[in-house]
Copies of this chain bind each other. A is one copy, B any other.
Amino acid sequence: MKPTPITSLQNPKIKNVAKLRQRKHRDRQGLMLIDGARELGLALANDFPVETVFVWDERAARHADLLARAAARSVRTQPVTENVFRKIGYGDNPDGVLAVAPQPDFPLDALPCPPDALFLVAEGVEKPGNLGAMLRSADAAGVTALILCDSVTDICNPNTIRASRGAFFTVPVAAASSADTLRWLRANGVQIVAASPAGKDYHFEVDLRPATAIAVGAEHTGLTARWFDETLAKIPMFGQVDSLNVAQSASILLFEAVRQRLSNDE
């Protein structure tokens, strides 16, 4: 039986979902928001646990397949009227789908580490949009996992998930301190390649075919000194502007690893 749409902005459930746009409420309740049908589809396809799907009632028909897939996983769908969706959804032209899910843990020890592992390590990245862009590139490059070190950004920020176009759900993610990450990578015999303008070698001069972690640092400051004992690689830069965006650097490095791994003649 289809549940009755929620019509009131004063409904306590709705007031609570609206609060989840703020980090303190997400953290306090251990919950996160998933905006959009594509993103929810990737969450479901990757067995990410979802609690409730809120759907703009008049737009539910166009999401029938998605909602059926949610129902098959015992995810509750809650229809709401337009005014209610506009209170809890994101942006001016939402597609009418918003899900609430428990925040997962991001333990380092849960990550796989195959012999051809390719990790992207992002230390101290600040902007959810950059983190989302890195997730999207990491998905395309087929990385083993993204490891967030000393993260300033709230990983479960809905802006990150939107910017990732749902790659948040397709790329394994871990969060840890830089010290623990270095220890874990070394213990697993993973080569660590740190992006730095101080590098002597260009990034394409480093052999990225063995199990490798590519590390990039915060937007303004780059990697902290604890990464400088590792292999440093610099991206050649010919311009007048001081640096590449961290997500662009990550893409360039990841796809150089992909190139090396797909090239037979090297």
Interface residues of A (CB under 8 A from B): 42, 45-46, 133, 136-142, 164-167, 170-171, 202, 204, 235-245, 247-248, 251-252, 255-256, 258-259, 262-263
B170 touches A137 (CB 8 A): no
Contacts of A259 in B (CB 8 A): 202, 204, 256
A235 touches B204 (CB 8 A): no
| Bound: A112/B245 CA distance, A | 27
Contacts of A252 in B (CB 8 A): 251-252, 255
How far in angstroms is the closest Cβ of chain B from A46?
8
Cβ contacts A to B, 14 pairs, < 8 Å: A45-B240, A136-B241, A136-B244, A137-B245, A139-B241, A140-B237, A140-B239, A140-B241, A165-B241, A166-B241, A167-B240, A170-B240, A170-B241, A247-B248
Contacts of A202 in B (CB 8 A): 259, 262
Contacts of A237 in B (CB 8 A): 140
